[in-house]
Structure 1
Amino acid sequence: MKKLFPIFVVLCIGLSYSAYSQVLPFRTYSIEKGLSESVVNDLLQDNEGYLWIGTSYGLNRFDGIRFQNYYTEDGLLDNKISALHQDHKDQLWVGTSNGVNIVNKDSIYTLPVLKPLTSGAVLSIHQDQFNEYWFATDGQGIWHLDRNQHLTQYREVNGLGDDRVRDIVEDQQGILWFATRAGLTKLEDGNFRTFTTQHGLPDNRLRDLALTENGQLWIGTRAGLCRISGDRFRCYTEEDGLINNRIQSISVAPDKGLWLGTEEGASFFDFDKAEFSNYSVDEGLANNFIHTTKYDREGNIWFGTLGGGISLFLGDHFQSYTIEEGLPNNVVTSISQDQSGDHWIATYGGGVSRLDITGGFTTLNSTDGLVDDKVYTLASNEGGGLFVGTRWGLSIYENERFLNFDESELPYRKIRALHKSAETGNWWLGTLGEGVLTYNGNSFTQWTEEDSLANNTVMAIEETSDGSLWLATYGGVSRLQGETFTNYSIQDGLPNNGVLDILKDQEGNLWFATFGGIAKFQNGRFETITTADGLPDEVCYFIEQDDRGIYWIGTNKGVVRFDYQAFQTTEESHPFKLFTQTQGLVANEMYAGASYKDRQGTLWFGSVGGLTRFDPSKEKLNSAAPKIHIENISVAGDQISIKPKLEVDSDNHNMVFSFVGISFTAPEQVNYRYRLRNSGEGWQTTSQRQVRYSALIPGDYTFEVMAQNNDGQWSSERAQISFTVLAPFWQQWWFIALVLFALVGIIFFIYHYYRVRKMVDIERMRVRIASDLHDDVGSALTEIALQSDFLQTMEVADTLQESLEQIGAQSRKIVSSLDDIVWSIDARNDTVGDLTDRMQDYVNSVLSEKEIQYHFEGNMQEKLEVSLKENLYLIFKEAINNIAKHSNADRVDITLSTNGAGFLLSVKDNGTSTHNERKTGQGLRNMNMRAKRIDADITFNHNQGFEVRVSRAA
């Protein structure tokens, strides 16, 4: 350890003083953000969450990120929009300088019955309790559109105060109130009555009307704010604190108050306190001339201005200070509070500034005796002094003078951290690169890495109840007990060895902010919390705790609200909440160690862009879940229309779904949960506003998405769209059916081809066999018969003569049978005509001797199978033989017809024989047998003759 000599130098001090207001969290949107025009006349939030902005050049729809603009080319009657109203059917009514439009799902049209309104500006639209419409105009009085679509005009001659009407409201009793240029007119039971200055109004020129939940009517005039009770008015003006008497707009606040837009800024009137809080461009408004005001569903107030676009006010829980408000430099490195309650702010390059309770800054720098204007840290002494650690040494400010130390007594100049020991009263000084110093009021003692300090760069110092000192270094955490260091690093559980800040919480536990997250030290162990646990950023510059126990962490992305109790409960909790510039911070990049909680519980955050003051008691949680919408779908880079039965071609596999969760408080912090049903994936989480899918296989899908606001509230409903990815044509049912049909056709063709070919071969073979039998066997048998006849002409023995006769007869019989066989086999005889010819030949040979007439009937061109032809012919022969042998008939009717696979053979005579042979003989049994061979039914009928009937169904 090294000893340094005490030094005392007294410098004279000069003071510079300036008083400025603070900047409040106003967020402005104008032309550069996409708004069509900076003059805003009316605002409306629809039931889907969109904010509609009527400007002097176009209608705008805003989702928190993007503006959609509508003009006359989209269907508007005029580009100057004066009034907006949403009806009970969620249709948007738009009052223009040339009539009224209706917007319904991006379709813009007008009603023919409203054509009389096109000659003037429509300033207000109201739908009454009977769902009838009232239109206030600038010069044409009031128009009333009833349920029967009948339009009626009321003017000054009908009792209206004036033909120029600015606003319409309806109270709980159904009374209509009109703000006119000549007083307040009410319409009750069909009668008009007008209140003017004679009744207590400060001015007859009225601008706006508003009704509170308890039914009070408030009137904005050119001379102040008024409330009517019965027939009496209570009015408030600039003398009562109103920022300006010319009131343009009134909005009822959910927290018992009114927001007033005037020609010189905005005023909030608190009902309970009966006092005004005023806001202007000095506090962050875009423009002091406010045309319209509107509360959104999240409790934020919007201001539509004349030339400044729209401003969103999130509340006064954040207040910011920069160079413009009196800071000497925007890089704020440390904050402290002295015994008088004033706050001291250290800047890097501007010295130190004192912010007193009136909001005025007093700056002290090197010209006033400060050792260096680049200040790292501040700490207040209980005795009223202020210790200032700079890049070039230490300054102590007491009795309006600086005590500085030169290089000979304090050669280690870069004082980065200050802490006064509660146990010894000594001051501890952390340096950049030169260890830690102790100062007892007279001398300095140095501790470095040679003394086992973890690293010579010491960023923060904290003391625990046991008297131990904890040092945040660039090499980890060092704990000094007595004269012994105990070091902790990544190996012991720290998320990173670069430690930037230390906090002792309300329970006495230590927290460390590092370059890799935060860590809690309890019972000898570190609990690490990093981006893997949901921390929005890994670089943590400081950590502070408010009176409620909530932790606040400074990062490169803003300040993180950390609810450690929620972090310990369930995974569904939302322990981290990020505050950024869009919500009121002066800058997103914080400065290491630049946080402070004052005696009032207010938190102060230093950044590279200025100073932010935060009042935790005014913090409001956003309980309004976002409204979620699927904005558009693109396929292969082309946007497609969203419709119920959506089909996507097979070659368009690249699909992009764009969606938005509408939350105006922190639109850039809305998170999404989505899934594609039937794709095999579960719920996914993203902060992006679009999802891409590629190479989707054919099938039916449903895309679903939900949104979460910055306070963890999920949308109660899911936005979803069902669609079908069509299969490629070779997977379509019609193509598969066509292929199957073609395959069946080819198979059938091949089968038929070979079948026909086989049949042709068989027929050729049958013809050949028939020819061979006829030519060879038939000729041989005929020759035998002839030879037997020739031998019979010769003298032979009687016994031989008888044998020769038998041989001849048998040969002829065989020839006759062979002829039938040859005829049956021959493929040239397969038609019914061939069969009937054969039958006729047989009938002629058998029945001609009996003088029996016959008649043939049938379709002659049908082809017959061989077995069918043969068996039918043999049945027929048997039937004819029976007729010839046993019937005394003189007529036979023969019918032969075919029907596909079916046929009918009928042989019927008109004989009267009743011989039993016709019923039970061998011939009938043969016919039964042959009928079975061809799978046919045979019947024998005895009604008016005898009929053999053989048939088979098709």
Structure 2
Amino acid sequence: MSFVRLSALFLFFILFSCKVTGQHIRFKYVNKDTGLYDNLIKSIVQDDKGTVWIATSLGVNKLDGNEVKKYSLSNGTAAVVNMLYEDSRRQLWAATEFGLYKYNSGTDRFDYWESIDPKLNEALKSDIFEILEADDGSLLIINSHGYVIRFSETNDFKTTFYSYKDTNGKRLYMKTMAKDADGNLWLGTNDGRLLQVSDNRLVTTGFAKTKNESAIQVIVFDDQNQLWIGTSGNGLFRFNPATRDYKHYYKSNNNDVSKSINDNIILSLYVDKQNNLWIGTDSGGLNLYQIDEDTFSYINSLAIPNYSIPDNSISYITQGYGDIIWVGTIHGGVSYFKNELVLNNISPVKLKFPKNDQQGSVVLKDKKGNLWVSAGRNGLRMYDPRSGRTKVFIDDPDSQTDLNGNIIISLFEDPKGRIWIGTYWNVLNIYDPEKDKFIAFPKQDHTRGTFAIEKDDEGRIWLGCNSGIYIYDTDLNLIKSIQKGGAEGLTSNTVKALYNDVKGDMWIGTRDGLNIYHKENDKFEKFFFDVDDSTSLSCDNIVSIAGNEDLSILIGTYGGALNVYSREKKNFKRIGADEGLNGEIIRGINIDNDKNAWLSTNSGLSKISPDWQIENFDIEHGIHGFNGGKALLVNDTMYMGNSNGLTYFNPSKMVFDSLSPKIFITKLRLLENKTFEEIPFSVIANNEEEIPEVMMLPDNDLISVHFATSDYWTSEKNSFVFMLEGLNDNWQSIQKQNILTFANLAPGNYLLRIKVNPESNTEDVQEAMLKIVVKPSFFQMGVVRLGLLMFVFTGIIFLFVWRDRYIKAQRNRLEFLVKEKTKEIKRQEEEAFKKDLALLEAEKKNQELHRKRLREELNFKIEELTNYTLRTLQKNDLLIGIKEMLVKAKSNPKPQKIQTSAIVSMIDDSLRFDKDWEDFYTLFNQLHPTFIKSLKTQHPELSEREIKLCSLIKLKFTSQHIATLFGISLSSVKVARHRLRKKLYLSKDEDFETFFETFK
């Protein structure tokens, strides 16, 4: 493979002076996986409000910032949409293989468009390739029948058909068309001709002298009114319509890769706002031609996620709102990217850089304009911008006269034009460009690891090394060395940064603190990080130092971000993430002509303005973090190098998109009966001159408003504020939320206003507006409420009159009833009195009868008890008789049978008497139901015999009767009564009868 073809292969992601990265272009994607009909993209349009429309081989997709929506044609047919076009009246047209369609915002669909002209309608029933609006507002289309048709949508003038036949009478087919600065129409044909409409007919042009026979795929005019012509196999042409001159750009093995395209089949062309030409090829990816610099660069499809286009066949290119470049491909869907920096690049191939070394570069521009760039771990390069030649310096282990060490960490040009080259592991090198050789000087082992090189006011050269500081004169004599230790020594021997300030003092950054050598008194001042002092250094590892325009000193650290030393306050101000600075490692500091400080950080570049406003540039802007290298600012140019080449730009010519992104409502959702109805916003936003209006019926309990912005690149960073006039007249922040929901709004008119937070975009802040009319329910209507109010008022008056009359009637009736009741009560009282007397008499008689009955029962019970008692006495007599008979029998040695029978008979009688005691208790309990039970409960110590004794005393039996019943003597009865008295706790003055009468 030739060197040129190898270069073309490796020359990718080149930096160009449009919104493009010189390192890797950061892409975002929309494809079939994210909702497109198909990955074959035919056309892309961003309409006036910011919505992106994408034509595919199967239909149209709409990207509104929130979702991808699919649109089929009105007849439901899946058709190839060749082109989308928005005219000056903000109408969206679709040129398809089945005719012309127009977007109907009222129905949110694409409808087939027809004219009242039958001839035009017949011509429209064809494959339409392109559509364009003429200066007079008429529309121009190219169809598959070989016609260019000019017609008026409103039929204001007669339709014109243009066609062209070659010398053989064969009709040519137009493939593409464009308007020049004067509004003239130019067309490219399928056989390679360039035609122009002149005197209302098609004529050939001076392009015929190019002898091009390849079909012209696309044509476009640039800002200089030069016509760019892309062919289907013959490369690219630049044609000047005024002079008829042309230039042919054709890929061949002999081309300088920076001077021509990389593929001869051109599918798409676009001239951006900076007058750069974008070229979409069939297999070479995206080409960029910088017209002002006459150079080409390329972006190919490589296996690097997010940093390459997905396909090398580029079918469409356009630039949308916010200068985003949209790229349609044949097989990979849509890619888009953006960058604020205006960048250029010297390719890694031209610099002969290694492919995969991510070590950052240190850069030096010498007095002759040569650029010295370290090549990672692969030595040093000297690039001559005038000749484009690169000289390579690599350490040859077998040579003692070449570069010593391949890892370059510092570069410096002395007053004699010699280049001082510090290496990481090896000793210092000095190269003399005039003699084209390296200069060796003795005793230089101490210069291993030379991180910093600086010249003082006396012209001496200070080296900051791993072993301290070494000071040389211009004759390469070592004057002095300074190491760690003591008041006159360094804080560390590892010196990483040197800076000679306006006073001639040397600032020395080490791995362990900051040192200042004061020239005036030959003394050192030292600073360290103090965890208890917020005005101390944020970190002791110092890697960069620079002086600011206000005489403050900027100190970059390894891990502690930036420190600003105030000479007046003699303390440090820390600037890091809290202040908006990206990156904790500050490897380099440059001050530009506008007094901005540019920091080379591990996250990219950061710019700090004189008023301490910070802007960060990272991978999305094409700036990688600095890994070991740092940027160089010389005059008006900033240089940055790494494995992707040398990137450079002019900080004073940076282009920023200062406009606030357009904000637009995408859809509405209304809640009715717990079901959401989704309404595309385009359906209600028909009149662009008026604020769209949505009506909420009484059944709509809730409305949600979805909105988006035209900023598709950083949409996730936008924050929003809103105001609902009629409810709250203050702006309210909703952060990054892009949905607003309102529930239970009172009937009335509201105006919703939404805009991007003005804190992030201060210029040209645009608003999305929506009128919300909340209709009242039937009972919320004013007329209904007034009628109800009158009805209620009339009802109240009627009720008041009726109540007054009713009360009077009731009062009269009550008075009558009171009189009648009074009479009735008197009569009833008299009758009741008589009844009460009768009842009392009857009750008295009943009580007398009851008492009589009770007396009779009592007498009967007493008589019964008396009888039982007498029988008990009889029993005792029997027992006495039995006893006497037993005594007699005992004395008779031969008892007689008759005596024995008599004794048995007497015992049976005695048993019957025991039964009599049971009957006695039964009768007694009927007279005195609770006596015996209470007696046993209150005096459980009483024996059964004593209980019987109490019962007999209760019945007022005499002692003689008791003695007879128990079969004991009178003296024994007295003893028993005495014992009973003690157990009942009776005093001497109490008798049994009284006690038992009151016993409960």
TM-score (norm 2): 0.60
Q: How far apart are the structure 2 equivalents of 1:82 and 1:100?
A: 10
1:191–1:39 Cα change, 3 Å = same
One-letter amino acid of the structure 2 residue matched with residue 438 of structure 1: Y
1:755–1:213 Cα change, 3 Å = same
How far is 1:45 from its partner? 3.5
**How far does the alpha carbon of each residue in 1:240-263 deviate from its partner, in whole angstroms, 9 at most, with x for none?**
955366554444455567555555
Q: How far apart are the structure 1 equivalents of 2:703 and 2:442?
A: 70
> 2:216 pairs with 206, 210, 218, which one?
206
2:239 maps to 1:227: yes
Residue 496 of structure 1 aligns with which residue?
538
How far is 1:133 from its partner? 2.4
How far is 1:546 from its partner? 2.6
Residue 446 of structure 1 aligns with which residue?
483
2:763 maps to 1:714: yes
How far is 1:438 from its partner? 3.2
Q: Which runs of 5+ in 2 are unaligned?
A: 1-5, 16-20, 302-306, 685-692, 824-1000
> 2:109 pairs with 107, 110, 127, which one?
107
Are the equivalent residues in 1 in contact too, given 2:190–2:215 (CA < 8 A)?
yes
SS at match of 1:49: coil
Residue 568 of structure 2 aligns with which residue?
524
SS at match of 2:663: strand
2:396 maps to 1:386: no
Are the equivalent residues in 2 in contact too, given 1:132–1:146 (CA < 8 A)?
yes
SS at match of 1:332: coil
How far is 1:204 from its partner? 7.1
Residue 662 of structure 2 aligns with which residue?
627
**How far does the alpha carbon of each residue in 1:74-115 deviate from its partner, in whole angstroms, 9 at most, with x for none?**
877544332221122211111122322222444322224486
2:248 maps to 1:237: yes
Q: How far apart are the structure 1 equivalents of 2:353 and 2:62?
A: 35
1:427–1:172 Cα change, 3 Å = closer
Are the equivalent residues in 1 in contact too, given 2:604–2:617 (CA < 8 A)?
yes
How far is 1:647 from its partner? 4.7
2:330 maps to 1:330: no
1:769–1:158 Cα change, 3 Å = farther
Residue 834 of structure 2 aligns with which residue?
none
1:178–1:661 Cα change, 3 Å = closer
Are the equivalent residues in 1 in contact too, given 2:659–2:765 (CA < 8 A)?
no
Residue 478 of structure 1 aligns with which residue?
515
Are the equivalent residues in 2 in contact too, given 1:648–1:725 (CA < 8 A)?
yes
2:494 maps to 1:460: no
1:276–1:248 Cα change, 3 Å = farther
How far is 1:454 from its partner? 6.1
How far is 1:132 from its partner? 3.0
Q: How far apart are the structure 2 equivalents of 1:727 and 1:459?
A: 75
> 2:187 pairs with 175, 178, 183, which one?
178
2:162 maps to 1:127: no
1:557–1:447 Cα change, 3 Å = same
How far is 1:130 from its partner? 4.2
Q: How far apart are the structure 2 equivalents of 1:545 and 1:723?
A: 53
2:812 maps to 1:763: yes
Q: How far apart are the structure 2 equivalents of 1:170 and 1:90?
A: 19
Are the equivalent residues in 2 in contact too, given 1:184–1:204 (CA < 8 A)?
no
Residue 921 of structure 1 aligns with which residue?
none
**How far does the alpha carbon of each residue in 1:626-655 deviate from its partner, in whole angstroms, 9 at most, with x for none?**
222234567999795356236599998896
Q: How far apart are the structure 2 equivalents of 1:109 and 1:595?
A: 56
Are the equivalent residues in 2 in contact too, given 1:201–1:226 (CA < 8 A)?
no
Residue 137 of structure 1 aligns with which residue?
143
TM alignment of 1:610-759, pairs within 5 A: 612-616=647-651, 618-632=653-667, 640-641=678-679, 642=681, 644-645=693-694, 647=696, 658-662=707-711, 672=720, 674=722, 683=731, 688=736, 690=738, 702-707=751-756, 714-723=763-772, 758-759=807-808
Q: How far apart are the structure 2 equivalents of 1:710 and 1:404?
A: 59
1:88–1:465 Cα change, 3 Å = closer
> 2:294 pairs with 243, 262, 276, which one?
276
TM alignment of 1:80-95, pairs within 5 A: 80-95=80-95
Are the equivalent residues in 1 in contact too, given 2:354–2:375 (CA < 8 A)?
no
Are the equivalent residues in 1 in contact too, given 2:281–2:312 (CA < 8 A)?
yes
1:479–1:216 Cα change, 3 Å = closer
1:349–1:128 Cα change, 3 Å = closer
How far is 1:592 from its partner? 6.7
Residue 582 of structure 1 aligns with which residue?
620
2:437 maps to 1:437: no
Identity of aligned pairs, percent? 18
**How far does the alpha carbon of each residue in 1:135-169 deviate from its partner, in whole angstroms, 9 at most, with x for none?**
20234423444345587765557999845222234
How far is 1:591 from its partner? 4.0
Residue 429 of structure 2 aligns with which residue?
396
Are the equivalent residues in 1 in contact too, given 2:225–2:240 (CA < 8 A)?
no
Which has the larger share of strand? 1
Residue 175 of structure 2 aligns with which residue?
166
**How far does the alpha carbon of each residue in 1:307-356 deviate from its partner, in whole angstroms, 9 at most, with x for none?**
46546575761438679963562131643445665544457766655556
Are the equivalent residues in 2 in contact too, given 1:366–1:373 (CA < 8 A)?
no
**How far does the alpha carbon of each residue in 1:224-247 deviate from its partner, in whole angstroms, 9 at most, with x for none?**
5253647x7322113795536655
Q: How far apart are the structure 1 equivalents of 2:792 and 2:441?
A: 102
Q: How far apart are the structure 2 equivalents of 1:675 and 1:79?
A: 43
Q: How far apart are the structure 1 equivalents of 2:336 and 2:346?
A: 17
**How far does the alpha carbon of each residue in 1:695-743 deviate from its partner, in whole angstroms, 9 at most, with x for none?**
9986976553334899956334212335589999999999999999999
How far is 1:479 from its partner? 2.0
How far is 1:683 from its partner? 4.7
How far is 1:504 from its partner? 2.4
Residue 597 of structure 2 aligns with which residue?
551
SS at match of 1:331: coil
Residue 68 of structure 1 aligns with which residue?
68
Are the equivalent residues in 2 in contact too, given 1:196–1:204 (CA < 8 A)?
no
One-letter amino acid of the structure 1 residue matched with residue 421 of structure 2: F
How far is 1:291 from its partner? 3.7
- Name which one, 1 or 2, has greater alpha-carbon Rg: 2
Are the equivalent residues in 2 in contact too, given 1:155–1:162 (CA < 8 A)?
yes
Q: How far apart are the structure 2 equivalents of 1:367 and 1:556?
A: 33
How far is 1:511 from its partner? 2.0
SS at match of 1:590: coil
Are the equivalent residues in 2 in contact too, given 1:672–1:705 (CA < 8 A)?
yes
TM alignment of 1:228-377, pairs within 5 A: 229=241, 233-238=244-249, 242-243=260-261, 247-252=266-271, 254=273, 259-261=278-280, 276-281=294-299, 286=309, 289-296=313-320, 298=322, 303-307=327-331, 309-310=334-335, 312=337, 317-319=343-345, 326=354, 329-332=357-360, 334-337=362-365, 341-346=369-374, 357=385, 358=388, 360=390, 362=392, 364=394, 377=410
